[in-house]
Structure 1
Amino acid sequence: MSDDGRQFETSTQQTPAPTVNERPLTAASSLRGSTLDAIAQRVLWLSTAIIDAANRGRANPDGVKVGGHQSSSASMVGIMTALWFAELGPHDRVSVKPHASPVLHAIAYLLGELEEGQLGTLRARGGLQAYPSRSKDPHTVDFSTGSVGIGATAPLWAALSRRYLRDHFGLPPGGRFISLLGDAEMDEGAVWEAIIDPEVRQLGEAVWIVDLNRQSLDRVIPDVQIARLQGMFAAADWQVLTCKWGRRLQALFARPGGDALRRRLEEMPNEEYQRLLRSHPRDVPARLLGDSPGPALAELVAGLGDVEVAEAVRDLGGHDIQELLATYAQIDDSRPTVIFAYTIKGRGLATEGHPSNHAAQLTEEQMHELASLSGTDLEDPWQRFPAGSEEAELCARTAERLRRPPLPSATPPAVPVELKWPHKQVTSTQATLGRLLSDLKRAEPEVARRVVTVSPDVASSTNLGGWINKTGIWSASDRRDWFADDADRVLRWQEDPGGQHMQLGIAEVNLVGLIGELGATWSRWGEPLIPIGTIYDPFVGRALEPWMFGIYAGGQSILVGTPSGVTLAPEGGAHQSVNTPSIGVSTPGIDSWEPAFAQDLEWTLLHAMSQLGRPGGTSAYFRLSTRPVEQSLANLPGDPAVRERRRRQVIAGGYRLSSHRAAEDEVLLVGTGAVMPNVCAAARTLAEQGVRAGIVCVTSASKLFAALMARDDPGAQGSPAILEQLFPAAHPVPLVTVLDGHPHALSFLSGVRGDRMRMLGVREFGQSASLSEAYALHNLDAGSIAAAALDQLGR
């Protein structure tokens, strides 16, 4: 490597300089710095070697890059070593930025949570995950991360969930909820949507530590960004702390010429600073002085050796463990805190500070050099500290300190299969949702006690008003309702710690982040909840990524998209969802439901509730409508046994609505959701033309798709029997599928028995119209359905 970029040989285990600014230190910070520094150096080595072993040390027959982020991990080593080995308690929960997963793996190894053989399995099947995974990593991971910004906000929603459990089930206060995130994650809107939520400002247990290495994947972040970020957090009423300079550099600031040195470093553009880091030590003094240095700065620099200057400019607070601990000691537990810890991307590696170091890998020669600096050996990379050493004893004490008490067994409530009250003769599925929740509270109070609803400022417009009037709004503290004496108000808005509805601002990302964490309380603290979030269906796509990430992390919840489709005709195209039925079919970890009738919604919602808060549980997505539907169209069986058969079919994914036998079908109309009245009307029109049409009402396209997959793959989850009941192989006929959404969501049904099929649905953005006009525009009206069936029959 050329002189301009080579790693100069000097120990990265620094002894802290004398304290310049006296600050109160925690008891943990009385640990000798050399011990913590030695552990930090070993963590640096292990995290780097874990990535090296996955790329250079493992056979790769397919030739696809394994990858890893040695430099992004290196910048986090000091921050995480200080936290784990001197600060955290057993009740604290930490979210680790995605690219620092090897640091988390390294710490887990030193604490005895991983075996030596597991360290070479990064990004291999069954091994250490590329990004921290609560469900897939073999050691303790508090939060899954990997989707930038989403993992950072998860601890906020977990903190709110813990407070909710404290207020409703008597859990004692927990520990801190800490997010470790990169400064580039501040670009994500999800971060700011969470920060400004009114409930978040009360979370004194929330701490964010920003790895301020001033580099993203492709660029060096401008200086002005830092001041703006600090101001935005302060405006949201967060405590803002900065850990900027290490104590060696602070000692230089206290010497003659130190003020000039501080000004020079603070006024230096990030790009110039990064270039300074890439210079050979002999060139650093001249670059530091710049074009017109003052005499005081020149005298100070002249009195230092080249290597001493090169080391000093690297002495940032995010790498000085004692300075980090002193900063942690200043956290104000009365409000959220953000700490901006200045770091260098790649600190201690040959790639230190390089603009293109994001995915760079150390060469074998560079790995040998790092091993020598770390007191280990590339040929034997997984050495633990010698037994009896101060480092080994600190690791053992830390493991014991962080040991968590056994988790109480979570016992989900026994959810009934149905309630005892009949439904209105004409009603919508959205209206039924509100009534079901209200009825649940009087029919099954123990189940209702576990229900918590969440909405982004659409509680009343998604029919939660009755439920809210019965249960109230949850707030971390009592709030006076100034409209309590308003006789004209229908919705009572009582806010106190006993409420069961959580109201957020208009931010769908916050909603799904919160229901994901509420849905994880059974596995975090042994208290299962039934979280139900309501959202306008067109905005499910906006919320999909964080909701999927919550499901991936083990959060089990119910998301209700309502109202939906072009059925919301007068609202226009912006509020008419098109692709959400497809989302329901293709999203892992959920059952999607689009019931047409009130009884179907009751059965499916209760079933979905019964699947939450347990190992192997499943989340659910409901697509509901405001269209009033004549409930007699459901033709509910009166006989209890036949009614139970209908219920089981509803849960399995669908049922035949026509009264004649499948063998008598000439064509089969398959519908779902709000368009079922149109399907039934089309069948009557066909009967007038002498065509006998069967009708299948699909309640869950995802369930039917799973059944089809399970038919050909016995190892897959699903119940193939429902397919034979709805589409008997002995009686194939042409199909016409109808849904208020993109038609491809039901296109797989042609593969059940190879039927010829015509698919009707929404393939274009909608527009404002009357309901009949909207249906005709998209060929969802009864006439278009009947015409499609006749076309299939060649009539």
Structure 2
Amino acid sequence: MTIDPTPQVLSSSLTAAEQATLREISQRVLWLSSAMINEANRGRVNTSGVKVGGHQASSASMIDIMVSLWFHELTQYDRVSVKPHASPALHAINHLLGDLDVKYLTTLREKGGLQSYPSRLKDPDTVDFSTGSVGIGATAALWAAMGHRYVASRFPETPKAGRFISLLGDAELDEGAIWEAVADPAVACLGELLWIVDLNRQSLDRVVPDIQTQRLQGMFEAAGWQVITLKWGSTISALFNRPGGDELRQRLEDMPNEEYQRMLRAPQDEVAARILGSDAPAALSELLAGVTADELAIAIRDLGGHDIGLLTDAYRAVDDTRPTVIFAYTVKGRGLPTEGHPNNHSALITEAQMLELAAASGVDPAQPWEPLPAGPAADLCRARGEVLRRDAITPTPKIKVPAALGRAHRAPISTQAALGRLLTDLTREAPEVAARVVTCAPDVASSTNLGGWINKTGVWSVNDRRDWFADDAERVLKWSEGTDGQHIELGIAEVNLVCLLGELGATWSRWGERLIPIATVYDPFIPRALEPWSYGIYSGGQSIIIGTPSGVTLAPEGGAHQSIYTPSIGLEQPQCIAWEPAFAQDLEWTMLAAMEQVGVEGGTSSYFRLTTRPLPQDLANLPTDATLLERRRKHAVAGGYRLTDHDPATEQVTLVGVGAIMPEVIAAAEALKAQGIVAGVVCLTSPDLVFRSFNRRGSVGSAAAKAGDDIVDVLFPEQHRAPIVTVMDGHPHTLSYLAGVRGDRIKCLGVSDFGQSSNLADAYALHGIDTDAIVDASLGLLGR
């Protein structure tokens, strides 16, 4: 629906005094946000020649919306995602609320200061969502709402939450992540969700030619959202109600965006002529003849997103049984000399213009950070600061994840199937831990071996749903949906999956309820999900993502379902450990170690690369002695272990394998032995951790150095050099760093080209990672 100021509500439900107070605060926020950017660019010494930047115009268009929320509407229970380029406005508001010390106002984009874009973990003031990633940050509030619903349904002591609000720029609606999230069926039930679109009709480079708001409105409505449009403010609506007003409105609404923006830049005495054009109706000419140039200039800038009274009325019109989007028309750069200019995105107003803005804001430019003068505005800031102050979060009591579960792994099994067993074992062996696990999948739960877990725990849904197949005796996978399940199934949209994963992984810090979120996705689609998953980690969401099946090992699936460079992605992702265990026991140990690190202060995320290839478990050669078995476990969770037990001093070549390829590596060692060559076998569970071990060598004060048993030295004793052959079902450069461990000659085998459908033996031979290729590479390094 479109909310327009009718004659009956032109004064809004706010009194004139209340609107005047909010307008004074809005003007101060405009000044502070602009001054912060000005200080960052002109007030600090810059010897690098690299611009500091900032977004005065983008902040300005959003300020009235933000002031109407923070100083009138929000409660301490609400959570708000703010568009990236309005970061200075958010910090200015937090300062006025008493949530940000004045010393930070000069530190925008400076080390230890205010971040360029809102950062939940790095900014010193209250930031609910990190939003530097356009589109992803906007949807974060949606997934946080779902995350809160989940923990509240599972744990009754979960703190209360209010609305989950996203303030996004209209250009963000170009992002596919937005529409994947909007279209998910579960979202239509989230009545606590409110999006407000800053419809300033400009992107970074241009005035958007055709914003097609009606099309966007229809897309939201089709997904079950309530749509509210705030197009015009009360001042210009008063003109619309006069004779000729209908014609004025029609002319302005028919005007292309570029023409409207150009009109904003024209001298005031030209505005009427631009509206009239060459063949204006007589009624429109008569109306404009009775309006002064100053009045008309004010009126054409009076859009719904700048009418604070209209905005507060719109919030009361929200239907809390479904999500709502408000399209609030604004002017980019509103209140600044650059308003409406097509190149104002990163433009700085001049120092002379800053002085004019200071005068308009009632600020002494020599004291740019002076507080509001005593009066209603200062009183409201103080009162709202108290209202919005949040209670401290009480964390979940510590839950100890066991180091092992004790299952004997004897029969051939894949790591993917072992994952399913581990999760079901967890419900029996460690129920307190299992209660905190929540699994997610994009419609691939059964094919990634989550079926047993789902049968035990059920599927979580926003609302209870009837299971029409409950009486079907032939059904293997039970699909009982309700608010007490522990698996969340989304559509085939990996971006949605990992966005939800990030918010489930942040519940420990948002609500004090620890979760251990685990998602399964086909490994080739990890790159598709990487950016939003990385965003979630950056924002403090700890989680475990499992890519399976991986590599070319699922040979019949062909090149479309084969992953090549995902091991490098895992190794390079900050605040994440990448794992690729070969055997079921390795998976159990490493997965439990990963779970221990999720949902806790100082924790970390993990990425597991698993496969559907069953491996003979006796190849793991597990020690029978309890002490040696524990030593193996410690090595496995540190990154790898030696499978051969000969003296490394006798070793002529070292074979290093990862994951599914281990049978070929072991067979190659046996083949070399038959030729009188002693080959050591190293099984890496985490090339990532071994690289870290290598890279921190010699680092003063490193924990590993203090312990004296860093894993890289265990696997590759420095005094026993030997050529190295590395083999993995992934890009060979992943392990190339091992050449630097001891300065050994190295040959890296792996997958570096697209595959094709084949059987397993043919696939390994095609990519040169079969036993013969390993033997050949070893002999080559030995000069044979």
What range is the shorter-chain TM-score in?
A: over 0.9
**Counterpart position of 2:66:** 80
Tell me which amino acid in the other structure corresponds to 1:792.
L
Using a 3 Å threshold, how does the CA distance of structure 1 residues 376 and 299 change in structure 2: closer, same or farther?
Answer: same
Equivalents in 1 of 2:394, 2:121: separation in Å? 19
The reply on whether 1:380 has 2:367 as its aligned counterpart is yes
**Counterpart position of 2:228:** 241
How far does residue 178 in structure 1 lie from its aligned partner after superposition? 0.3
What does 1:572-583 correspond to in 2, within 5 Å? 572-583=558-569
Q: Secondary structure at the match of 1:251?
A: helix
In terms of mean alpha carbon deviation, does 275-284 or 420-429 score higher?
A: 420-429
The reply on whether 1:483 has 2:469 as its aligned counterpart is yes
- The match for 1:118 among 87, 91, 104 is 104
Equivalents in 1 of 2:10, 2:290: separation in Å? 29
**Counterpart position of 1:744:** 733
Q: Secondary structure at the match of 2:109?
A: coil
Equivalents in 2 of 1:541, 1:25: separation in Å? 49
Tell me which amino acid in the other structure corresponds to 2:331.
I
The reply on whether 1:758 has 2:747 as its aligned counterpart is yes
Using a 3 Å threshold, how does the CA distance of structure 1 residues 193 and 483 change in structure 2: closer, same or farther?
Answer: same
Q: Secondary structure at the match of 1:426?
A: coil
1:360-405: CA deviation from partner (whole Å, max 9, x where unpaired): 0111011111111111132211111123x11110000100000111
Using a 3 Å threshold, how does the CA distance of structure 1 residues 561 and 152 change in structure 2: closer, same or farther?
Answer: same
How far does residue 412 in structure 1 lie from its aligned partner after superposition? 4.0
How far does residue 22 in structure 1 lie from its aligned partner after superposition? 3.4
**Counterpart position of 1:363:** 350
Contact 1:706 1:718 in 2 (8 A): no
Contact 1:453 1:502 in 2 (8 A): yes
Equivalents in 2 of 1:530, 1:23: separation in Å? 51
The reply on whether 1:338 has 2:292 as its aligned counterpart is no
The reply on whether 1:146 has 2:132 as its aligned counterpart is yes
Tell me which amino acid in the other structure corresponds to 2:729.
D
Tell me which amino acid in the other structure corresponds to 1:685.
A
**Counterpart position of 1:258:** 245
The reply on whether 1:783 has 2:783 as its aligned counterpart is no
Equivalents in 2 of 1:617, 1:20: separation in Å? 57
The reply on whether 1:184 has 2:171 as its aligned counterpart is yes
**Counterpart position of 1:440:** 426
1:566-601: CA deviation from partner (whole Å, max 9, x where unpaired): 001111111100010000110000011000000000
- The match for 2:714 among 725, 732, 745 is 725
Using a 3 Å threshold, how does the CA distance of structure 1 residues 94 and 717 change in structure 2: closer, same or farther?
Answer: farther
The reply on whether 1:493 has 2:479 as its aligned counterpart is yes
Tell me which amino acid in the other structure corresponds to 1:237.
G
1:735-767: CA deviation from partner (whole Å, max 9, x where unpaired): 000011011111111111111100001111111
**Counterpart position of 1:560:** 546
Using a 3 Å threshold, how does the CA distance of structure 1 residues 224 and 183 change in structure 2: closer, same or farther?
Answer: closer
The reply on whether 1:68 has 2:54 as its aligned counterpart is yes
**Counterpart position of 1:157:** 143
**Counterpart position of 1:639:** 625
Tell me which amino acid in the other structure corresponds to 2:779.
L
Equivalents in 1 of 2:458, 2:725: separation in Å? 46
> How many residue pairs end up in the alignment?
777
The reply on whether 1:686 has 2:672 as its aligned counterpart is yes
Contact 2:191 2:324 in 1 (8 A): yes
1:582-633: CA deviation from partner (whole Å, max 9, x where unpaired): 0011000001100000000000000000001111100000000000100000
Using a 3 Å threshold, how does the CA distance of structure 1 residues 24 and 90 change in structure 2: closer, same or farther?
Answer: farther
- The match for 1:510 among 472, 484, 496 is 496
In terms of mean alpha carbon deviation, does 222-231 or 555-564 score higher?
A: 222-231
1:770-790: CA deviation from partner (whole Å, max 9, x where unpaired): 110100011110000010000
Equivalents in 2 of 1:716, 1:523: separation in Å? 28
Contact 1:707 1:717 in 2 (8 A): no
Using a 3 Å threshold, how does the CA distance of structure 1 residues 208 and 575 change in structure 2: closer, same or farther?
Answer: same
How far does residue 717 in structure 1 lie from its aligned partner after superposition? 7.1
TM-score, normalized by length of structure 2?
Answer: 0.98
How far does residue 420 in structure 1 lie from its aligned partner after superposition? 2.1
Equivalents in 2 of 1:717, 1:305: separation in Å? 74
Equivalents in 1 of 2:581, 2:478: separation in Å? 29
Q: Secondary structure at the match of 1:41?
A: helix
**Counterpart position of 1:548:** 534
- The match for 1:703 among 689, 697, 705 is 689
Tell me which amino acid in the other structure corresponds to 1:399.
G
Using a 3 Å threshold, how does the CA distance of structure 1 residues 473 and 717 change in structure 2: closer, same or farther?
Answer: farther
**Counterpart position of 2:83:** 97
Contact 1:669 1:679 in 2 (8 A): yes
TM-score, normalized by length of structure 1?
Answer: 0.96
Equivalents in 1 of 2:679, 2:11: separation in Å? 81
- The match for 1:278 among 265, 281, 285 is 265
Tell me which amino acid in the other structure corresponds to 1:506.
I
Equivalents in 2 of 1:109, 1:172: separation in Å? 26
- The match for 1:401 among 387, 405, 420 is 387
Equivalents in 1 of 2:69, 2:217: separation in Å? 22
Residue ranges of structure 1 left out of the alignment (5+ in a row): 1-16
- Identical amino acids, percent of aligned pairs: 63
**Counterpart position of 1:293:** 280
Q: Secondary structure at the match of 2:23?
A: helix
Q: Secondary structure at the match of 2:9?
A: coil
**Counterpart position of 1:392:** 378
The reply on whether 1:585 has 2:574 as its aligned counterpart is no
**Counterpart position of 2:611:** 625
Tell me which amino acid in the other structure corresponds to 2:62.
M
Equivalents in 2 of 1:426, 1:230: separation in Å? 55
Tell me which amino acid in the other structure corresponds to 2:691.
F
Equivalents in 2 of 1:167, 1:778: separation in Å? 49
Contact 2:12 2:310 in 1 (8 A): no
Tell me which amino acid in the other structure corresponds to 1:245.
W
Using a 3 Å threshold, how does the CA distance of structure 1 residues 18 and 669 change in structure 2: closer, same or farther?
Answer: closer
The reply on whether 1:134 has 2:120 as its aligned counterpart is yes
1:117-151: CA deviation from partner (whole Å, max 9, x where unpaired): 21010000010000000000000100001111000
- The match for 1:768 among 757, 765, 772 is 757
Equivalents in 2 of 1:30, 1:37: separation in Å? 10
In terms of mean alpha carbon deviation, does 218-227 or 285-294 score higher?
A: 218-227
1:202-231: CA deviation from partner (whole Å, max 9, x where unpaired): 000000000000001112223352111111
Contact 2:10 2:234 in 1 (8 A): no
What CA RMSD, in Å, does the superposition of the two structures yield over aligned residues? 1.4
Residue ranges of structure 2 left out of the alignment (5+ in a row): none
Contact 2:704 2:710 in 1 (8 A): no
Equivalents in 2 of 1:391, 1:250: separation in Å? 27
How far does residue 25 in structure 1 lie from its aligned partner after superposition? 6.8
**Counterpart position of 2:341:** 354
Using a 3 Å threshold, how does the CA distance of structure 1 residues 18 and 705 change in structure 2: closer, same or farther?
Answer: closer
Contact 2:32 2:369 in 1 (8 A): yes
Runs of at least 4 residues of structure 1 off by over 4 A?
A: 23-26, 28-31, 715-720
How far does residue 718 in structure 1 lie from its aligned partner after superposition? 5.9
How far does residue 424 in structure 1 lie from its aligned partner after superposition? 4.0
Equivalents in 2 of 1:279, 1:206: separation in Å? 39
Contact 1:51 1:122 in 2 (8 A): yes
How far does residue 452 in structure 1 lie from its aligned partner after superposition? 0.2
Q: Secondary structure at the match of 1:53?
A: helix
Equivalents in 1 of 2:662, 2:136: separation in Å? 38
Using a 3 Å threshold, how does the CA distance of structure 1 residues 30 and 750 change in structure 2: closer, same or farther?
Answer: farther
Equivalents in 2 of 1:305, 1:713: separation in Å? 73
Equivalents in 2 of 1:512, 1:378: separation in Å? 46
Equivalents in 2 of 1:29, 1:124: separation in Å? 41
